[in-house]
Structure 1
Amino acid sequence: MTSRERVLTASAVLSLAVLAGCDSGEAGQALPTSGAEVSTTQSESAGEREFTKAPPVQDPLDASKYLKDPCSSLTESQQQEFNVTSSRENSDDDNSGCRWNVGDGSTSPGVSYATGIEEGLDRLYALNDTGHWDKGYFEPTEVSGYPAVYVEIVDNRDRGDCNLAVSISDDLFFNSNVLTRAGNDACGAAENVAKAVIETIKAGE
Structure 2
Amino acid sequence: MRTINRAATLIGFTLLLAACSSEELGSPTVNVSQPSASETSGLWPNPYTVPPEKGLDVAPFLGNPCGLVSPGLLADEKYSVEGRPRLPGEDTTADVTGPYCGWSGKGDSRGLTVSIQSGNARRGAGGLVHLRRMYDEGRYAYWEDTSIGGYPAAYLDLADRRSAGGCGVAVAVADDMSFSVAVDAYADQPTEACSAAARFAEDVLGNLERGI
Band the TM-score falls in, shorter-chain normalisation = 0.7 to 0.9
Q: CA deviation at 1:156?
A: 1.1
Unaligned runs of 5+ in 2: 22-30, 41-45, 88-93
Matches for 1:21-170 after TM superposition, within 5 Å: 23=3, 24-26=6-8, 27=10, 28-29=12-13, 31-36=16-21, 37-41=31-35, 54-58=47-51, 59-85=54-80, 86-91=82-87, 92-93=94-95, 94-118=97-121, 119-133=126-140, 136-170=141-175
**Greater helix share, structure number:** 2
- 1:29–1:74 Cα change, 3 Å: closer
**Greater strand share, structure number:** 1
Contact in 2 for aligned 1:71/1:88 (Cα 8 Å) = yes
1:155, 1:75 → 2: CA distance?
28
Higher-Rg structure is 1
SS of equivalent residue, structure 2 residue 179: strand
Q: CA deviation at 1:54?
A: 4.7
| CA RMSD after TM alignment | 2.3
Unaligned runs of 5+ in 1: 1-21, 43-49
1:87, 1:65 → 2: CA distance?
17
2:108, 2:143 → 1: CA distance?
28
Partner of 2:28: none
Q: Which has the higher contact order (CA 8 A, sep 6+)?
A: 1
SS of equivalent residue, structure 1 residue 110: strand
- 1:169–1:109 Cα change, 3 Å: same
TM-score of the superposition, structure 1-length normalised?
Answer: 0.76
Q: CA deviation at 1:132?
A: 2.4
SS of equivalent residue, structure 1 residue 25: helix
* Residue type of the alignment partner of 2:116: Y
TM-score of the superposition, structure 2-length normalised?
Answer: 0.74
SS of equivalent residue, structure 1 residue 174: strand
1:132, 1:79 → 2: CA distance?
31
1:79, 1:181 → 2: CA distance?
15
Query: What's the % identity of the aligned pairs?
Result: 29
Q: Deviations over 1:79-127 (max 9, x none)?
A: 3333332321133112210011122142111100111112311111111
- 1:155–1:189 Cα change, 3 Å: same
Q: CA deviation at 1:29?
A: 3.3
Number of residue-to-residue matches in the alignment:
175
SS of equivalent residue, structure 1 residue 35: coil
